[in-house]
Amino acid sequence: MADTTHPPNIIQLWHNVAAQPRSRYGAELRQILNLERAIAAMAELTQWPGYGATPLRSLSGLSEAIGVGQIAYKDESNRFGLGSFKALGGAYAVLRQVTQQVRQITGDPTVSFEAVRAGGYAEIVAQLVMTTATDGNHGRSVAWGAQQLGCPCVIFIHERVSVAREKAIAQYGATVIRVPGNYDSAVRWADAQAAANGWILLSDTSYAGYTEIPCDVMQGYTLMVEEVLQQWPQVMASAPPWPTHVFIQAGVGGLAAAVCAHLWERWEVAPVAGRGDRPPRLIVVEPATAACLYETACHGELVDVHGSLETLMGCLSAGRPSLLAWDILKLGAEVFMTIPDELAAHAMRLLADGIGGDRPIVAGESGAAGLAALLGISQQPELRSQIHLDENSRILLFGTEGAMDPEVYQQIVSEFPSP
């Protein structure tokens, strides 16, 4: 059996005293994400060619090794063949924005998503340029979505994005432009170029004056959460019902907010026997070198983190929280924590090896972050106690990406990912 201990590291935890896990999911939050729009997104996304629910995997061997009741891992490594959960967000936002533009240009408010997807307005669509900034996965989703509809696409990446991730975006026909600085610099480049050229900006982060489209991106992610709720009773049949803890990784916070909002509202409006009177305890996980949400939680107001933001967990490298994501997380997330890169690499190797009969799983650097946080806490009795982690706890993890850069993956786990 592989060793579940990890190298020496520093883990920081911040308990969010403003969290209201038993309060109502209020009207202000429903302006950002809500169940009605989630159902609409699901209805559309499940009709796309190639759709299939990604697997929820039970990690019984690992749960026994670290002394918890059960671990469930949502494996997003083959979502629509793009390798990450981001396929649900960026491409969905592309479709919504293109359809909205077609309706405005034609003067026909009845133009449907299906008609746009079928190519019925190809001449109009070909004039619409999509753009965004990315660390890799979101840009790949936007490029894929644009290619499916037949519109041009320009993607901005920063100087530390790997060549492999750049090529993965370009393969969908996008023009990829590398700019100096970090992810936040790329966001500013994309915003400026969209404004100057009349392009449609499809960012996965929100800020003052830019909020509508990031809501569409986040709403797409909720399909993944709904799949978990449908899969849990079957996959976890041997365990007591429903998760008690969710460890969710964060960059700008869009994914974490989507998970938080959907679970919160589902627990409120659709009670199910055995779920209890509160949603699972949500723990938001960030790299120690790019912990903008952690710092924001500590200060009680939006905080920018400066510097290179360099981290092995490249898709979590962000210095500024998403404005709307923070509005949800400041009330719904109970713990914010940071982890070092070494712990993420260790989690990748454990998943690749399989523990106690668990099926080996290919997880990218950012995809393993939730497990990394769980591993870090599980070996420290004081931290376990603080988040009420014990032998009866049922953990939900989101494996948000596969091996998006095979060379990096090889270096970390010493083997190439399986097909």
Both 228 and 181 in one domain: the answer is: no
Which pLDDT does position 355 carry in this prediction?
86
Domain boundary among 203, 238, 265: 203
Q: Are strands 70-75 and 130-134 parallel, antiparallel or unpaired?
A: unpaired
Q: Which two tokens stand for residue 11?
A: 């883990």
Both 109 and 249 in one domain: the answer is: no
Domain boundary among 175, 203, 231: 203
- 5: in domain: no
Q: What is the pLDDT of residues 4-53, one digit of tens each?
A: 444 445 899 999 999 998 889 999 999 999 999 999 999 999 999 999 99
The helix (run of H) or strand (run of E) holding residue 228 is: helix 212-235
Out of 75, 86, 184, 216, pick the active-site residue: 86
- 176: in domain: yes
CA 356, CA 359: separation in Å to the nearest integer? 9
Tally of structural domains, the chain: 2
Out of 3, 75, 108, 135, pick the active-site residue: 135
pTM: 0.94
Looking at the DSSP bridge assignments, the partners of residue 211 are none
Tell me, yes or no, if 216 is annotated catalytic: no
- 1: in domain: no
Write the DSSP assignment of 159-208 as a string of letters.
Answer: TTS-HHHHHHHHTTT-EEEEESS-HHHHHHHHHHHHHHHTPEE--SS-BT
CA 321, CA 315: separation in Å to the nearest integer? 14
CA 327, CA 185: separation in Å to the nearest integer? 23
Q: What is the pLDDT of residues 53-110, one digit of tens each?
A: 999 999 999 999 999 999 999 999 999 999 999 999 999 999 999 999 999 999 999 9
- 398: in domain: yes
Tell me, yes or no, if 135 is annotated catalytic: yes
67 within 8 A of 5, measured Cβ to Cβ? no
CATH of the domain at 97: 3.40.50.1100
Both 192 and 72 in one domain: the answer is: no
Residue 61 burial by CB count (10 A; 0-12/13-18/19+): exposed, middle or buried? middle
Write the DSSP assignment of 388-416 as a string of letters.
Answer: T--TT-EEEEEE-B--SSHHHHHHHHSSP
Domain enclosing residue 154, as ranges: 90-203
- 106: in domain: yes
Both 270 and 406 in one domain: the answer is: yes
